[in-house]
């Protein structure tokens, strides 16, 4: 099974023990490392690095080279580059997708960019085709892009006798996004895997607390809310024509939090009034890295387990967070293997307790829990 690890190039700016750089990557715990994100030039549909130290300069070695150099000691490791992300938006994607000739400029540039930097593949994280301002035609054009990239990768491999570049996509998991954005049989044909972003599913129709990455639905949820869990999403992709072995489950190394209406009602499914308070290091309302949750648990937050959904939550006074720990990661890894799925991907390395500073469980406790329960 694939064990895919996203490495983000912005966690280098976090303070104190939250600072995460390429030196923290453990290549034994990942089959693929994907660097997020590369961007695009304004009008010329070409790749462009996003951080000042991504690329080599005449006097310095960049992050891309540091990560691809891990292959020297770990020859089985694959290192890939991801384009897109939430903040990238859709405008430049739509402009590139618009015609065969703009897509061809992009496809040729992707091959040049990856090969000159020793990458093994490319991951499409556009959020999302035919959503967020992207026109409905982008659904078909995105599928065409996948086809044209795959064909170019095959042709290039033949010409150069190098192993073919890998091609994957990370996809949204809300039903309306899935329906609008993805031609599933076409994507399954051309992508090496489809990475399901099976997290951020915490919005409930009732204004109550909900776990953002539950494995299973809750019996007492409204029917629509039952679709916001990993099992439902995986089954939906399969009914739409994706073979199990092409599907990769997204594993969240973070929690999504709420402020409760009342400190006395702190279960899953209880009324919320808004997002939770920000964590001290990630500084984002409604969100905390796993290591920040560990710090809270040490300081007196109460942990509880949602047995029907196989995930934990924690609360303190009016603060509530649905998150993942080693126990839920184990449940999810075993379930993914039992379904015959292609593997899992983690978002992201920098939010595990990578340096063993917070949880008292050694380095990368979540990533270890996944590895320990995944057949090779
Ligand atoms: C728990 O809540 C109380 C009351 O709001 C607060 O004073 C305390 O700092 C919180 N504890 C943690 C660990 O966040």
| Nearest CA owner, ligand 1 atom 1 | 316
Task: For residue 299, give the ligand 1 atom closest to its CA.
Answer: 13
Q: Could you tell me if residue 167 is inside a domain?
A: yes
Whole-number pLDDT of residue 376: 81
By alpha-carbon position, which residue is closest to atom 10 of ligand 1? 316
Q: Whose alpha carbon is nearest atom 4 of ligand 1?
A: 317
**Has residue 307 been placed in a domain?**
no
Position 312 scores a pLDDT of 99
- Among the atoms of ligand 1, which is closest to the Cα of residue 295? 13
Q: Please identify, by atom number, the ligand 1 atom nearest to the C-alpha of residue 317.
A: 2
Question: 369: CA distance to ligand 1 center in Å?
Answer: 29
Helix axes 365-372, 326-338, angle to 10 degrees: 30
CATH of the domain at 117: 3.20.20.80
Instruction: Locate the ligand 1 atom nearest the alpha carbon of residue 296 and give its number.
Output: 13
- Domain membership of residue 303 (yes or no) is no
pLDDT (0 to 100) of residue 152: 98
**Ligand 1 center–CA 316 separation, angstroms:** 6
315 CA from centroid of ligand 1 (Å): 10
pLDDT number for residue 42: 85
pLDDT tens sequence for the chain (376 residues): 999 999 999 999 999 999 999 999 999 999 999 999 999 998 899 999 999 999 999 999 999 999 999 999 999 999 999 999 999 999 999 999 999 999 999 999 999 999 999 999 999 999 999 999 999 999 999 999 999 999 999 999 999 999 999 999 999 999 999 999 999 999 999 999 999 999 999 998 899 999 999 999 999 999 999 999 999 999 999 999 999 999 999 999 999 999 999 999 999 999 999 999 999 999 999 999 999 999 999 999 999 999 999 999 999 999 999 999 999 999 999 999 999 999 999 999 999 999 999 999 999 999 999 999 999 8
Positive/negative CA dihedral, 103, 105, 111, 114: negative
Q: What's residue 51's pLDDT?
A: 98
How many angstroms separate the alpha carbon of residue 305 from the centre of ligand 1? 21
Residue of 127, 156, 221, 231 marked active site = 127
Within-domain flag for 145: yes
Closest residue by CA, ligand 1 atom 5: 317
In this structure, is residue 228 part of a structural domain?
yes
In a domain, 278, yes or no: no
- Look at ligand 1, atom 7, and give the residue with the nearest C-alpha: 317
| CA nearest ligand 1 atom 14, residue | 296
Ligand 1 mean position, distance from CA 269 (Å): 22
Residues 6 or more apart in contact with residue 79 via CB below 8 angstroms: 32, 33, 34, 35, 67, 68, 70, 71, 118, 119, 120
For ligand 1, the distance from its centroid to the CA atom of residue 317, given in whole angstroms, is 7
Q: Give, for ligand 1, the residue of 300, 302, 303, 314 to mutate: max count of ligand atoms closer than 8 Å to Cβ.
A: 300
Q: How far apart are the first and last CA of the chain?
A: 6
By the 8 A CB rule, do 288 and 273 touch? Answer: no
Which atom number of ligand 1 is nearest to the Cα of residue 318? 5
Tell me if 263 is assigned to some domain: no
Q: Alpha-carbon distance 207 to 258, whole Å?
A: 10
Residues with CB under 6 A from ligand 1: 296, 299-301, 316-317
Q: How far is the CA of 257 from the centre of ligand 1 (A)?
A: 14
For residue 269, the model assigns a pLDDT of: 97
Report d(CA 215, CA 225) in Å as an integer.
Answer: 13
- DSSP-based three-state secondary structure for 123: strand
**Core vs surface per residue 241-266: b (16+ CB within 10 A) or e:** ebeeebbbbbbbbbbbbbbbbeeebb
| Residue 296 domain-assigned (yes or no) | no
Contacts of 52 (CB under 8 A, 6+ apart): none
Q: Which element (helix H / strand E) includes 208?
A: none
The structural domain count of the chain equals 1
Q: pTM of this prediction? A: 0.98
Query: Containing domain of residue 87, as a range?
Result: 2-253+324-372
Q: CA separation (Å) from 98 to 106, 138, 144, 184?
A: 11, 8, 11, 20
User: Could you confirm whether 127 is annotated as catalytic?
Assistant: yes
Question: Which residue's alpha carbon is at the smallest distance from atom 8 of ligand 1?
Answer: 316
């Amino acid at each position: 099974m694939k064990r895919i690890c996203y490495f983000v190039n912005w966690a280098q700016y976090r303070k104190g023990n939250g600072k995460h750089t390429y030196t923290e990557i453990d290549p034994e715990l990942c089959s693929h490392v994907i660097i997020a994100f590369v961007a695009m030039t304004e009008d010329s549909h070409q790749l462009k690095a996003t951080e000042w130290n991504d690329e080599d300069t005449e006097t310095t070695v960049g992050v891309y080279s540091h990560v691809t150099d891990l292959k020297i000691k770990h020859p089985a490791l694959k290192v890939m580059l991801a384009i897109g992300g939430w903040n990238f938006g859709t405008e430049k994607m739509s402009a590139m997708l618009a015609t065969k000739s703009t897509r061809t400029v992009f496809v040729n540039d992707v091959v040049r960019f990856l090969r000159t930097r020793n990458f093994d593949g490319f991951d499409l994280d556009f959020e999302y085709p035919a959503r967020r301002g992207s026109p409905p035609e982008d659904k078909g054009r995105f599928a065409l892009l996948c086809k044209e990239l795959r064909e170019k990768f095959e042709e290039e491999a033949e010409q150069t006798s190098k192993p073919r570049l890998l091609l994957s996509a990370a996809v949204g998991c809300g039903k309306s996004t899935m329906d609008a954005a993805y031609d599933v049989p076409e994507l399954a044909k051309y992508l090496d895997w489809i990475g399901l972003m099976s997290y951020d599913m915490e919005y409930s129709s009732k204004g109550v607390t909900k776990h953002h990455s539950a494995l299973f639905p809750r019996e007492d949820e409204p029917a629509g809310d039952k679709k916001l869990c990993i099992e439902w999403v995986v089954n939906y992709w399969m009914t739409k024509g994706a073979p199990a072995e092409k599907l990769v489950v997204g594993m969240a190394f973070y929690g999504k939090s709420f402020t409760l209406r009342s400190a006395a009602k702190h279960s899953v499914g209880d009324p919320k009034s808004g997002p939770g308070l920000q964590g001290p290091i990630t500084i984002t309302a409604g969100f905390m890295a796993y290591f920040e949750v560990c710090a809270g648990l040490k300081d007196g937050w109460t942990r509880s387990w949602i047995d029907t959904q196989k995930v934990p939550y924690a609360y303190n006074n009016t603060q509530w967070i649905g998150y993942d720990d080693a126990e839920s990661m184990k449940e999810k890894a075993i379930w993914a293997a039992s379904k015959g799925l292609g593997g899992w991907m983690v978002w992201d390395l920098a939010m595990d307790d990578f340096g063993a500073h917070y949880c008292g469980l050694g380095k990368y406790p979540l990533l270890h829990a996944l590895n320990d329960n995944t057949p090779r």
